Structure 1
Amino acid sequence: MFEITPYPSFSWSLSRHKTLTSCARKYGYEYYFSHNGWLSYNVEPYHQHVYRLKKLQSMPILFGQIVHHLIEQSINDYLQTGKAPTVAELVNRARGQLNAAFIDSTRHVDLWRHKPNKFYMMQEIYYEGKLNPELVQDYKERMSAVFDNFLNSETFQQITAQKGSLRIGEPEQFRSMKIEGIQVFVVMDFHYYDEIADKWIIIDWKTGGESDDDRQQLALYAYYIQQKYRVSLDQIDVYNEYLLTGKRKKYAFTAFDMDNILHTFQRSVLEMKKYQADIFSNEPVDFEDFEQTTEKWHCKGCNFKELCVQN
């Protein structure tokens, strides 16, 4: 049974670490001051407002979520029916979901304000009042390339060729493990066990360009598989599938990479604990102690920027 608590439970994830690294004030909004903001009673309007802002979705984020969802759906459908979708079918579904997000953001604003976890609000429309036509055209043009590259990717080709010899893990599922007594969340796009090669395969679908963070993210996934299934790193193959370009990149990880991830985790947790007034209840320090970033380029795409202007 879901229990309402005055403060959120403490946990760690790579996205939480990146948020704190970019801006402590954003970290406070995201992980503390939005807590219980989904409740319709017995909660301060301030927390409801912060939670609403937390649920804003920018076009790149929304597009990525829709593509990931359709890929997951396509793989599940293929495994059950043996039938793959066409590019046109996937594009039509994606357009339908983007259109639904646009309609929510422009016509159902009051519904979103009351139930921000049930309705869409696009960040660009919330702050600018409209979508940039060039942005819309850019993502329209990306759709065909992204879905074509997915269907022709080595990963999907292997799924269709070796359906009987692959043990598919649940995609996009929230997974967690304990490291030094702290719950660590890991959200992998896709993974499976190849019985013929005796390998665990991890796939991360990317709808944008390459990033310096990609390797660190995938190293954490490899660490999770290593710990969960008690296998050596030699038995784990890790790939980025860059859907915009069709490029596939393989990563090989060593014990040094695993030590690096643990070191990042340990340093990050120490930094996060500075923002706990009580380490047992996870009560946060005062709002003013969550410092705003001095690197203002972080603010441009931040969901909470209107709050920082007010303060």
Structure 2
Amino acid sequence: MPILFGQIVHRFIEQAINDYLQTGTVPTVEELVQYARGQLNAAFIDSTRYTEQWRQKPTKYYMMQEIYYYGKLQPAVIQDYKERLQLVFNHFLRSETFQEITARKGSLRIGEPEQFRSMKMDGIQVFVVMDFHYYNEQTDKWVIIDWKTGGESDDDRQQLALYAYYVQQKYRVSLAQIEAYNEYLLTGNRKKYQFTDFDMANILHTFQCSVLEMKKYQADIFANEPVDLEDFEPTNEQWQCRSCNFRELCRQS
């Protein structure tokens, strides 16, 4: 539910920004809530009524993890997310980012949102999906925005540092020209980051360590074949199992 909720909110935020840039029309909170609620309802109906169709065409139908494993959504969860819809869209329309877009439309060069971009790091292709970014001609700044529909996390800064690294490499600009923001839509808080060369070095180091860790699970590096399932040791942090994509496989082994 948290992932589905985030995807749907991001989708309608992107649509709202695109619609404004093309037509100058700003949606109301009620309109955004109605659109998003319709998508959530569709996902619920898919998950409860079209299980067999989902098994045949899993990319064409939704299947909510909570319903797959437990058969239902708790009423308290449904009510919680209904309330969140009002909060996130209200905070989006009032956010500094959206106010900047509507106030300075002519001086902002908008990047394509939610597009798969890639770059090479140590010869390895890395994909980057930024929520929103633009160049402000008046301030000579590249601005990166990441919308958050959940709480703050220790990983938020590192995620934006990777985006800053991409912008730095893509547009050949200095870090002083890059500003990054988290817009926390549940609370309406905004957090600003500016990065240094040390941050970029740390991103590269983290990436290198991550690649080395993943390569331990390759039986054949050239064919990209994994080691046996038994060689993937289970985590001791069992709370992670609740959202693991491989949960059912683990139960079967």
Query: Shared fold (TM-score greater than 0.5)?
Result: yes
Quick one: distance in 2 between partners of 1:252 and 1:139?
Answer: 33
Aligned to 1:5: none
Aligned to 2:108: 166
- 1:310 is aligned to 2:252: yes
1:64 alignment partner AA: G
Quick one: distance in 1 between partners of 2:227 and 2:251?
Answer: 21
Quick one: distance in 2 between partners of 1:85 and 1:297?
Answer: 39
Aligned to 2:132: 190
Once the 2 structures are TM-superposed, how far is the Cα of residue 252 of structure 1 from its aligned partner? Answer: 1.3
Quick one: distance in 2 between partners of 1:166 and 1:306?
Answer: 47
Q: Specify which of 242, 247, 250 is matched with residue 189 of structure 2.
A: 247
Quick one: distance in 1 between partners of 2:93 and 2:231?
Answer: 48
2:216 alignment partner AA: K
Once the 2 structures are TM-superposed, how far is the Cα of residue 70 of structure 1 from its aligned partner? Answer: 0.2
Quick one: distance in 2 between partners of 1:190 and 1:115?
Answer: 31
SS in structure 1 opposite 2:86?
Answer: helix
1:106 alignment partner AA: T
Aligned to 1:130: 72
Aligned to 2:236: 294
1:144 alignment partner AA: Q
Once the 2 structures are TM-superposed, how far is the Cα of residue 307 of structure 1 from its aligned partner? Answer: 2.2
- 1:88 is aligned to 2:30: yes
Across the aligned residues of Structure 1 and Structure 2, the Cα RMSD in angstroms comes to 0.8
SS in structure 2 opposite 1:177?
Answer: strand
Quick one: distance in 1 between partners of 2:86 and 2:150?
Answer: 14
Aligned to 1:38: none
SS in structure 2 opposite 1:241?
Answer: strand
- 1:284 is aligned to 2:219: no
Q: Deviation above 6 Å: which 4+ runs of structure 1?
A: none
SS in structure 1 opposite 2:27?
Answer: coil
Quick one: distance in 2 between partners of 1:282 and 1:130?
Answer: 38
Q: If the length of structure 1 is used for normalisation, what is the TM-score?
A: 0.80
Quick one: distance in 2 between partners of 1:100 and 1:169?
Answer: 30
Tell me the alpha carbon deviations over residues 168-201 of structure 1, each in whole angstroms, 9 at most, x when there is no partner: 0000111110111100111110000000100000
Using CA pairs below 8 Å that are at least 6 residues apart, which structure has the higher relative contact order?
A: 1
Name whichever of 283-292 and 116-125 sits farther off: 283-292
Does the 8 A contact of 1:123 with 1:303 survive in 2? Answer: no
Quick one: distance in 2 between partners of 1:232 and 1:219?
Answer: 13
SS in structure 1 opposite 2:243?
Answer: coil
